[in-house]
């Protein structure tokens, strides 16, 4: 399952904004760097899916910034689904569809969705197991159109190593809570992408020691 009730407090710090809207300070901080990359790589128009949309802050900002795309948020946790709807209503966004209740770690979900021109995944892979990661990437590839683009953002091991003290503390807190989760190795991810018909176009070094993988469906 994508949504784990037992995670370190630092894994997902969310506060109430107003009503059902939730607010994540980390989502607010990383929105601009993520949007700057997305603006550069997305098609001019088409259908876009965000997997694990969280509070809804990212997709609200993306829909405002890229109005020619039709955005579909998704989430598994009920409170966050309500928050996504609240952000859509607050910003009066007409190019965002109602959020999809989706556990992207479950096999077969691609069969129930249309195909997309662009898919975004932010800060999820370190919170799920390697087997769940493999399922997610396989299903993601199936729901991506040929030549469609993916952007995956988050913290990763670099050639098997943790490269900052903060990463060491966070990764260790994750695996102490659940030994199946934690940072994934960047080279393992590249192999997984290649085995899932996803060509690796670029690795973007992002703020706070995160990485962004830009991928394209090649068949």
Which pLDDT does position 2 carry in this prediction?
Answer: 46
| Cα 57 to Cα 48: distance, rounded to the nearest angstrom | 15
What are the boundaries of each domain within the chain? 15-217
What is the CATH topology of the domain spanning 15-217?
Rossmann fold (3.40.50)
Which pLDDT does position 15 carry in this prediction?
Answer: 65
Which pLDDT does position 4 carry in this prediction?
Answer: 45
| Cα 198 to Cα 38: distance, rounded to the nearest angstrom | 17
| pTM for the structure as a whole | 0.93
User: β-strands 210-217, 46-51: how paired?
Assistant: unpaired
| Cα 125 to Cα 109: distance, rounded to the nearest angstrom | 17
| Cα 171 to Cα 184: distance, rounded to the nearest angstrom | 10
Q: Count Cβ neighbours within 10 Å for each residue of 91-125 and write b for 16 or more, e otherwise.
A: eebeebbebbebbbbeeebbeebebbbbbbbbbbb
Which pLDDT does position 216 carry in this prediction?
Answer: 98
| pLDDT tens, N- to C-terminus, the chain (219 residues) | 444 445 555 555 566 667 799 999 999 999 999 999 999 999 999 999 999 999 999 999 999 999 999 999 999 999 999 999 999 999 999 999 999 999 999 999 999 999 999 999 999 999 999 999 999 999 999 999 999 999 999 999 999 999 999 999 999 999 999 999 999 999 999 999 999 999 999 999 999 999 999 999 997
H-helix segments, the chain: 25-41, 57-65, 78-91, 130-142, 165-177, 186-195
């Amino acid at each position: 399952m994508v949504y784990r009730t037992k995670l370190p407090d630092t894994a997902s710090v969310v506060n109430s904004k107003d009503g059902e809207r939730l607010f994540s300070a980390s989502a607010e901080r990383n929105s601009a760097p993520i949007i700057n990359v997305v603006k550069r790589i997305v098609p001019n128009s088409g259908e876009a899916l965000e997997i694990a949309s969280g509070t809804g802050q990212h997709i609200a900002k993306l829909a405002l910034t890229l109005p020619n795309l039709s955005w579909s948020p998704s989430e598994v946790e009920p409170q966050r689904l309500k928050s996504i709807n609240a952000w859509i209503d607050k910003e009066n966004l007409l190019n965002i569809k109602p959020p999809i209740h989706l556990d992207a770690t479950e096999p077969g979900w691609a069969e129930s969705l249309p195909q997309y021109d662009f898919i975004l995944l932010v800060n999820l892979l370190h919170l799920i197991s390697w087997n769940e990661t493999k399922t997610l990437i396989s299903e993601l590839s199936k729901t991506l159109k040929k030549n469609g683009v993916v952007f995956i953002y988050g913290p990763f091991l670099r050639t098997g190593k943790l490269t900052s003290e903060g990463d060491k503390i966070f990764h260790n807190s994750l695996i102490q809570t659940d030994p199946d989760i934690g940072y994934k190795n960047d080279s393992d991810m590249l192999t997984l992408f290649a085995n899932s018909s996803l060509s690796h176009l670029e690795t973007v070094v992002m703020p706070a020691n995160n990485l962004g993988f830009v991928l394209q469906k090649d068949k």
